[in-house]
Chains A and B, each alone.
Chain A
Amino acid sequence: AQTVTQSQPEMSVQEAETVTLSCTYDTSENNYYLFWYKQPPSRQMILVIRQEAYKQQNATENRFSVNFQKAAKSFSLKISDSQLGDTAMYFCAFMKPILSKLTFGTGTRLQVTL
Chain B
Amino acid sequence: ETGVTQSPTHLIKTRGQQVTLRCSSQSGHNTVSWYQQALGQGPQFIFQYYREEENGRGNFPPRFSGLQFPNYSSELNVNALELDDSALYLCASSPDRVGYGYTFGSGTRLTVV
| Min distance, Cβ B64 to any Cβ of chain A, angstroms | 15
Contacts of B48 in A (CB 8 A): 99-101
Known contacts being A91-B42, A103-B45, A107-B42, is A44 close to B105, with CB within 8 Å? yes
A106–B42 touching, CB < 8 Å: yes
Which listed residue, B45, B97, B106, touches A102 by the CB 8 Å rule? B45
> In the complex, which range does the number of interface residues on chain A fall in?
20 to 34
| Min distance, Cβ A65 to any Cβ of chain B, angstroms | 19
Interface residue B66 (Cβ < 8 Å from any Cβ of A): no
Residue of B nearest to A33 (CB): B100
Interface residue A84 (Cβ < 8 Å from any Cβ of B): no
Q: Which residues of A contact B (CB under 8 A)?
A: 4, 33, 37, 42-47, 50, 91, 93, 95, 97-107
Can you list 30 pairs linking A and B with CB atoms under 8 Å apart?
A42-B106, A43-B88, A43-B109, A44-B104, A45-B92, A46-B104, A47-B102, A50-B100, A91-B43, A93-B42, A95-B99, A97-B100, A98-B98, A99-B48, A100-B31, A100-B56, A100-B98, A100-B99, A101-B45, A101-B99, A102-B33, A102-B35, A102-B92, A103-B45, A104-B42, A104-B44, A106-B40, A106-B41, A107-B41, A107-B42
